[in-house]
Every structure is written in structure tokens, then in C-alpha cells.
Amino acid sequence: MFKGNYWLALVIAATFISVASLTAVPVFAAGDPDFDPPLVPLPAHPPIPADNKSSTAIYPAKMGPKQELGYLLFFDPKLTGDASLSCGTCHHPDTGWGFNDPISRGYPGTVHWRNSQTIVNTGYFHKLFWAGSVTSLESQAPAANKGGVAGNGEDDMMESRLQMTPEYRQRWKEVFGYDRPLIKDAWRAIAAFERYMSQTDTPYDSFLKGDNKALTASQKRGLELFKGKANCVECHNGPMLTDEKYYNLDVPNPVEWTESGLAQISYRFEIYAKGVTEKLYRESKHDLGAYFRGKNPQDIGKFRTATLRYLSYSTPFMHNGAFFTLEEVVDFYNEGGGESDLLNTKTKILKPLNLTDDEKADLVEFLGSMSGEEIKLPFPKIPPIAAFDDWQPKK
Ligand code: HEC
Ligand code: HEC
């Protein structure tokens, strides 16, 4: 009995020590006594859900048929209200598959109320959107294209347009086994395409897999700062460089948001729909983030830790696009995050870092190593709606 416990204690201690030394990060980092998953490369492809099977190919390999259908639909304006924009308008290939205004454009007549995120690598997330409000790409796509300030589409209208498109009838037959497109399967094909948009061949991943030359000397110093003095690893960890938890960093609001009447109207429309009190509806000057989901005061102003992948192309940064450069982001953290603390929920983890100019430069260099080559796919040729006679079955 005694002997058993002795060995058990020894094994636990040995495991603890070897995990700590293998990952070379403090297992319990300063300020937040949680376990930080190690920094590891991205798996070869994102998980494929059992109820939406598709090819495991990722860019730049050849797409499978479902991914290819999703690629067309991603850029097809038939899937929005007035057919004047598509997913690809706000997630544009030339701007990191996001939108490069601090606040995204919206449905005609509105602006959005948050920064548009890149869709690259989203297949690896467990929670989507800045406040983590949906948990799968399959449910994210309809939320986007039916949302009032985004796609603003109606199911029956969008579905009819697909059914009037001969090429889709043919592709649906091939991919789903029936030829009268249903909108629910459009979202599933788009999700399959998003999983294709994964990037695993960055210098950072190569370095973690053992290629010591993949990072420059400056980037290696940046990595040490990231894990040590700058303590980024406390929240940015695991294969996606995010713990997918929620924090309020007290990011300042950009003037594009506070000074734009249209942005304020869109924001108030959105939070009214989310059922806030009339007082909040009238007076809120901040995006309350994760609060909107459970109306828990502790969640006010909190956002999901962002991934640090593909940053080289996805400026501006943060939920409100407050920063255009990584230098600004690092300065923000160096000062210990935002200073207003108006919402009283700012994380205690952020502290002034006292980084020297050289250290800041190394950190910025390191952040660049988590982006590979820019993913360039052309706008595809969108299948046209046919004249009535063309899509009736031939007698
Ligand atoms: C009008 C602009 C607009 C359109 C159209 C749009 N999006 Fe977005 N997208 C955004 C914005 C803004 C966000 C962030 C919103 C938030 O967090 O509340 C976002 C977030 C996302 C995310 C979450 C990324 C992450 O890191 O969690 C995914 C995935 C995504 N969009 C895919 C799509 C798809 C697929 C479509 C088409 C079906 C689409 N979007 C249409 C603007 C748009
Ligand atoms: C307390 C947890 C925490 C720590 C520590 C932290 N971050 Fe963040 N990071 C976040 C959260 C949360 C966001 C999104 C915040 C928002 O939009 O309001 C974010 C966003 C970012 C972004 C923007 C990414 C994008 O796509 O918009 C960058 C870049 C970034 N962090 C880098 C760093 C660096 C570098 C460090 C270390 C100096 C660091 N972070 C430390 C939680 C943290």
C-alpha cells in the first residue's frame, strides 16, 4: 500500500517535470493558475465532422467536389438578401480573407458592428466569432448570411435561386445525391470549403517540427519573449495559439466606430435583437462582447482570444479593428493593455512588460512567422440562373 503510493507520487512528479521541460513553457504561468496547453504545430488538416464528410485536402492541394461547391457558394451573391454581396465580399482574398476596415462593411444601408475575421484556419476552432457565439462552421454560415447587418438573406429566396441554377442542380446531384438544392446543404458545402482554407506550412510550424533553420535569430528571441517576459503564452497557446477563453483587454474604441452614426445605429439594432435592457440599448458605449450570450455581468467586454495565425495578411486587428500594425499591438500589450477600465472586467493578467525596443521588434518578427505564403484563390466563375425553359426537365 505504502509502496504503491510512493511509486504513484514518483510517477506524477516525473510526469510533471518532463511535461514542464518538454514544452519549455511555465506550466502555470503568472497571474492565471490554469494549465496552458503546449505550443504545438497544427494537425495536417482540421477535424471533419461525421455528419459533414468531405475531402481532407487543404490548400494548395486539389479540392474535393464538396469543397469546390462550397468555394462557388462562398463567392455567390445568390446567398444574400439583395444578391449584391457574398461571404467573399467581407472575407476578401486580397485582404487576408477578412475586410480591411476596422469595422467590416455591412449589408447595403448598414455597416457591420465588428471587425471581419479571416476565415483561414477557422476549421480548427471550437468556438467562432469574436464572442464565441457559435460552435461549428455549419451553423456559422447561415448566421452570417441571414444576419441583418451581414447577408440579410431569407431561406426560401436563397434556396429558390440555387434551384434555378442548372450547374448547382448538377453539382448537388454529384455531392449530395439529389438535384433540387436545399439551403441547409449549401451551408455544409461552405463549411467544407472553409476547412480547405487551412495553413499548416508556416515557418513557425516547421520550426516546431524540428527545422531549426525555419526561424531567424530575431524570431527565436521573439519566441522566448512570447513564452517568458511578455507572457503572451498565458492566453495564446495550443496549436491555434489561443486558449479560446474570454478576456477583456480594454481595447480602445476606434473613431470609425464611435463617430459613425451608421455604425452606432447598426450596433444598437444588433443589441436590441440580442435582448438587452432599454438602459443598455440607449447608453452602451462599448461592445459588451460575450455578455450578450448569457447576460452574465462578469462577461462584459470579453472576447475570445484571437488566433495569431495568418496575421501578416489580416490587418486591422482586434474585435473593433483598433490597431493596423503588429507594432501597435505589441505597444498596447507593453503598456499593460487598455487604461480605461470603464467596464470593470479588465483581466488582471495584463501588466506593463517593460520590453526594450529590440525586444518589441523581435516579438513582432516572431508573430510574422505564424503566417505562410499568402493564400491566393481567384474569384470563381459564378454559375448563372437559367431561363425558365432551360431548367425544366426535358420531355
Ligand atoms: C457583411 C459582411 C460579412 C458577410 C457577408 C459575411 N461575413 Fe463572416 N464575418 C463578418 C464579421 C464582421 C465577422 C465577425 C463578427 C462577430 O464576431 O460578431 C465575421 C466572422 C466570420 C467567421 C468567424 C471567424 C472566427 O475567427 O471565429 C467565419 C467563419 C465567417 N465569418 C464566415 C463567413 C461565411 C461562410 C459567410 C457567408 C456564408 C460570411 N462569413 C459572410 C463579416 C461578414
Ligand atoms: C489575457 C490573455 C491575453 C494575453 C496575455 C495576450 N493576449 Fe493577445 N489577445 C487576447 C484576446 C482576448 C484578444 C482579442 C481581444 C479583443 O479583440 O478585444 C487578443 C488579440 C490579439 C491580437 C489580434 C489578432 C487579430 O487577429 O485581431 C494579437 C496580434 C495579439 N493578441 C498578440 C498578443 C501578444 C503578442 C501578446 C503578448 C505580448 C498577447 N497577445 C497577450 C488575449 C491575450
pLDDT in tens, 255-301: 888 888 999 999 999 899 888 999 988 988 899 999 998 899 999 99
CA dist 366 and 363 (Å) reads 5
CA dist 27 and 12 (Å) reads 14
For a mutational test of ligand 2's pocket, the pick from 223, 241, 249, i.e. the residue with the most ligand atoms closer than 8 A to its C-beta, is: 249
For a mutational test of ligand 1's pocket, the pick from 78, 85, 91, 309, i.e. the residue with the most ligand atoms closer than 8 A to its C-beta, is: 91
CA dist 7 and 101 (Å) reads 59
Helices and strands (H and E) in the chain: how many:
16, 2
Is the CB of 333 within 6 Å of ligand 2? yes
Query: Which ligand places an atom closest to the C-alpha of 225?
Result: 2
Residue 267's CB is within 10 A of a number of other CB atoms, namely 23
Q: Is 119 helix (H, G, I), strand (E, B) or coil?
A: coil
Which CATH number does 2-43+202-253+302-368 carry?
A: 1.10.760.10
Is the CB of 318 within 6 Å of ligand 1? no
Centre of ligand 2 to C-alpha 241, Å, is 10
Pure H helices in the chain: 2-23, 65-74, 87-90, 137-146, 155-163, 166-176, 183-196, 203-208, 217-227, 255-258, 261-273, 278-283, 291-294, 326-334, 357-368, 388-391
Is the CB of 343 within 6 Å of ligand 2? no
CA dist 87 and 251 (Å) reads 27
Q: What is the pLDDT of residue 32?
A: 56
For residue 54, which of 67, 72, 73 has the smallest C-alpha distance?
Answer: 67
| Cis upstream peptide for 60 (omega within 30°) | yes
CA dist 57 and 46 (Å) reads 10
Question: Tens of pLDDT along the chain (395 residues)?
Answer: 334 444 444 444 444 433 333 333 333 444 555 788 999 999 999 999 999 999 999 999 999 999 999 999 999 999 999 999 999 999 999 999 999 999 999 999 999 999 999 999 999 999 999 999 999 999 999 999 999 999 999 999 999 999 999 999 999 999 999 999 999 999 999 999 999 999 999 999 999 999 999 999 999 999 999 999 999 999 999 999 999 999 999 999 998 888 889 999 999 998 998 889 999 889 888 999 999 988 999 999 999 999 999 999 999 999 999 999 999 999 999 999 999 888 899 999 999 999 999 999 999 999 999 999 999 999 999 999 986 666 566 55
DSSP class of 248: B
CA dist 247 and 338 (Å) reads 12
- Domain ranges (residues) in the chain: 2-43+202-253+302-368, 50-200
| Whole-prediction pTM | 0.91
Residues in Cβ contact with 342 at an 8 Å cutoff, skipping those fewer than 6 apart:
250, 285, 286
Domain covering 50-200, topology: Cytochrome Bc1 Complex; Chain D, domain 2 (1.10.760)
CA dist 369 and 392 (Å) reads 53
Q: Whose CA is nearest to atom 36 of ligand 2?
A: 232
Burial 69-103 (b: 16+ CB within 10 A, else e): bbbbbbbbbbbbbeeebbbbbbbbbebbbbbbbbb
Q: Is 279 helix (H, G, I), strand (E, B) or coil?
A: helix
CA dist 123 and 236 (Å) reads 17
**Comparing 2-43+202-253+302-368 with 50-200, is the CATH topology the same?**
yes
Half-sphere exposure of 201 (CA within 13 A, CB side): 8
Q: What is the pLDDT of residue 15?
A: 42
Centre of ligand 1 to C-alpha 46, Å, is 19
Is the CB of 117 within 6 Å of ligand 1? yes
DSSP class of 252: P
